[in-house]
Amino acid sequence: MIEFQHVYKTYETHSDENVALEDISLKINEGEFVFVRGHSGAGKSTFLKLMLMEERPDKGRGRIIINGQDLTKLRRGKIPYMRRKLGVVFQDFRLIPTMTVYENVAFAMRVTNISNKVIRNRVPYVLSLVGLEDKMDRLPDELSGGEQQRVAVARALAHGPKVIIADEPTGNIDPELSMDIMQLFEAINKVHITVVVVTHEHELVNNLAARYHNRVITLSHGHIADDTANPEVARRYLANGGQPVPELSYSV
């Protein structure tokens, strides 16, 4: 369903080149729940941005395949249709500042050509899932950081995507609510939706991964340092001189 084959990502900054991901290969199956963790700057967001085609992998190296489509060969005009199959929670929320909470969520459905009737029913419903049904008419600026983040979560769910990709979806939320949001993702995963969650909250990951048997992928300096679905990965990583990943204490 999601496959990376020897993917590299180098950012060109105005002063130098910055290798964010190096030779990434992995496969995420349909219906899987995957946590991606790693230190700041490890390449987690970059990994998600490649799936969304917000960033392109280095030319001529590797392939990214989602739903059988090779993203490196996807024509420009097809990109929007590919994106609609994903529901994305951005690390920086990316809400449209001029639209109300309701309209932000509804927008993701409108682009998908969902009828007004369905939109009118579904938007309040997904907002109630994140506890924001009473703030539908506010503008994003009139919400706290955590509330904005929850709107972003609601928007990612609204159009019924096959894959949910969330970048630090609980970064601005207190622990109790974080747990609720994560449980929401777990519930969504139960109906066979693939979920990829990036988070640095190790405690939460350990907790949930142990309980729900989620897969955990650890990124370090642009490499996959560990993957609970594939013990071979960590061995190879260490053999290639990688730094050991701290605190791999959970068990699957």
Partner 1 sequence: MRFSSFIYLVGQGLHNMRANRLMTFASMGVLTVCMLLIGTAFLLGVNIDYMVDYLGDQNFVVAYLEQGTTEEERAQVEASLGGMAGVGGITYNSPEDVLQEYSGMLSQYTNLESVFANDNPFLANYEVTLTDVGQMEAVVAQLGALPHILRVNAPLAVQQLFLSLQKVITYGSYGLVAVLGLVSMVVINNTIRITVFARRREIGIMKLVGATNGFIRFPFFVEGTASGLLSAVLASGIVCGGYYYLCQWYAEHPTNLTEMFGGELVPLSQVWYLIVGTFVVFGFVLCGIGTATSIRKHLNV
Which residues, 6+ apart, have CB-to-CB distance to 57 below 8 Å? 7, 8, 9, 21, 50, 64, 72
Nearest distance, CB of residue 44 and ligand ATP, angstroms: 3
Using rule CB under 5 A, residue 220 touches Mg ion: no
Tell me if 59 sits within 8 A of 71, measured CB to CB: no
Give residues 8-37 in contact with Mg ion (rule: CB under 5 A): none
Using rule CB under 8 A, residue 51 touches partner 1: no
Among 70, 73, 96, 137, binds partner 1 (CB under 8 A): 96
Among 19, 111, 187, 252, binds partner 1 (CB under 8 A): 111
Which residues, 6+ apart, have CB-to-CB distance to 172 below 8 Å? 144, 145, 146, 148, 149
Among 107, 132, 185, 206, binds partner 1 (CB under 8 A): 107
Helix axes 202-212, 175-190, angle to 10 degrees: 30
Nearest distance, CB of residue 216 and ligand ATP, angstroms: 15
- DSSP state, 170? T
Please say which residue, 109 or 225, places its beta carbon nearer to partner 1: 109
172 burial via Cβ count (<10 Å: 0-12, 13-18, 19+): middle
Please say which residue, 119 or 226, places its beta carbon nearer to ligand ATP: 226
- Amino acid letter, 130: V
Please say which residue, 41 or 231, places its beta carbon nearer to ligand ATP: 41
Tokens read off for 231: 């013990």
What are the Cα distances from residue 208, in Å, to 2, 47, 101, 183?
A: 22, 22, 29, 9
How far apart CA 211 and CA 198 sit, in angstroms, is 18
Nearest distance, CB of residue 97 and partner 1, angstroms: 7
Please say which residue, 94 or 202, places its beta carbon nearer to partner 1: 94
Query: Which span sits near Mg ion by CB under 5 A: 20-28, 91-99, 143-151, 226-234?
Result: 91-99
Query: Site for partner 1 (CB under 8 A): how many residues?
Result: 25
φ and ψ of 69, to 5 deg: -100, 130
Nearest distance, CB of residue 66 and Mg ion, angstroms: 20
Among 24, 45, 105, 122, binds Mg ion (CB under 5 A): 45
Query: Site for Mg ion (CB under 5 A): how many residues?
Result: 2
Tokens read off for 155: 């928007």
Nearest distance, CB of residue 249 and ligand ATP, angstroms: 21
Residues that bind partner 1 (CB under 8 A): 52, 54, 77, 80-81, 83-84, 86, 88, 90, 94-98, 107-108, 110-113, 115-116, 155, 159
